[in-house]
Amino acid sequence: MHIGPRKTGTTYLQRVLQLLSPDLTSHGVLYPIDYRDQEDYNHVGAVTDLTHNEESKESNRWTGKDGSGWTGLVSAIQGWDGTAIISAEMIGGLRPHAAQRLLDGLASPTIDVVITMRDLGRILPSSWQQHVRNTHTQAYKAYLKRRSRERGTESPVQMQPAWDSERHQTFWRSYAYGALVRRWQGLVGPDHVKIVTLPKPGAPSTLLWDRFREALDAPGLPETPPRLPAFIANVGSTRAEAIMLHALNVEAKRRGWNRKTTNELQQRLLSGGFLDRPDRGAPLLLPTKFLRTVQGWADTDIDDVRTTGVSLLGDLEDLRVPDSAASHRRAVPEEVAAAGAFATANAMEYEAELIRRRNEREARITLPGRVLRRVRDRVRPPRS
Please indicate, yes or no, whether residues 320 and 359 belong to a single structural domain of this protein. no
- For residue 115, what is the DSSP state? E
Number of H helices, E strands in the chain: 15, 7
Instruction: Output the domain CATH number for residue 68.
Output: 3.40.50
- 306 and 375 inside one domain: no
State which residues form the domain around 219: 10-119+139-234+291-325
Judge if 297 and 366 occupy the same domain: no
Please tell me the predicted confidence (pLDDT) of residue 63: 46
Does one domain contain both 320 and 357? Answer: no
34 HSE (CA, 13 A, CB side)? 4
Say yes or no: 79 and 114 in one domain: yes
CA distances from 274 to 11, 65, 187, 248, 350 (A): 19, 32, 42, 14, 16
Element (H, E) at 374: helix 349-379
How would you label 292-314 residue by residue, b for 16+ Cβ within 10 Å and e otherwise? Answer: ebbbebbebbbebbeebebebbb
Looking at the structure, tell me whether residues 297 and 373 fall in a common domain: no
DSSP string computed for 52-87 = HHHH----TTT--SSSHHHHHHHHHHHT-SSEE--B
Structure confidence at residue 60 (pLDDT): 45
pLDDT at 344: 74
Q: For residues 306 and 300, what is the distance between their CA atoms, to the nearest angstrom? A: 10
| 81 closest CA partner among 15, 19, 29, 12 | 29
Q: Using CA atoms, how far apart are residues 69 and 360, in angstroms rounded to an integer?
A: 51
Which one, of 230, 222, 229, lies nearest residue 206 by Cα?
Answer: 222
230 and 358: one domain?
no
Whole-model pTM: value is 0.86
Q: Is 226 helix (H, G, I), strand (E, B) or coil?
A: coil
* Same domain (yes/no): 375, 303: no
Give the separation between CA 313 and CA 299, rounded to whole angstroms: 19
pLDDT given for residue 349 in this prediction: 75
144 and 69 both lie in a single domain: yes
User: Is 48 inside a domain boundary?
Assistant: yes
Cross-strand bridge partners of residue 283:
238
**Is 89:47 a contact under the CB 8 Å cutoff?**
no
Q: 267 burial class (0-12, 13-18, 19+ CB within 10 angstroms)?
A: exposed
pLDDT tens digits, the chain, 384 residues: what are they? 999 999 999 999 999 999 999 999 999 999 999 998 889 999 999 999 898 766 765 444 444 567 889 999 999 999 999 999 999 999 999 999 999 999 999 999 999 999 999 999 999 999 999 999 889 999 999 999 999 999 999 999 999 999 999 999 999 999 999 999 999 999 999 999 999 999 999 999 899 999 999 999 999 999 999 988 765 555 677 888 889 889 989 999 999 999 888 888 887 777 666 766 777 788 899 999 999 999 999 999 999 999 999 999 999 999 999 999 999 877 778 888 888 787 777 767 767 788 888 777 777 666 565 566 566 666 666 655
**Are the CB atoms for 335 and 281 separated by under 8 Å?**
yes
Q: What is the pLDDT of residue 216?
A: 97
Indicate the residue type of 45: G
Number of domains composing the chain: 2
Instruction: Tell me, yes or no, whether 30 and 100 share the same domain.
Output: yes
- The pLDDT score that the predictor gives to residue 108 is 93
Largest Cα separation within the chain, whole Å, is 110
On whether the CB atoms of residues 85 and 54 are closer than 8 A, the answer is: no
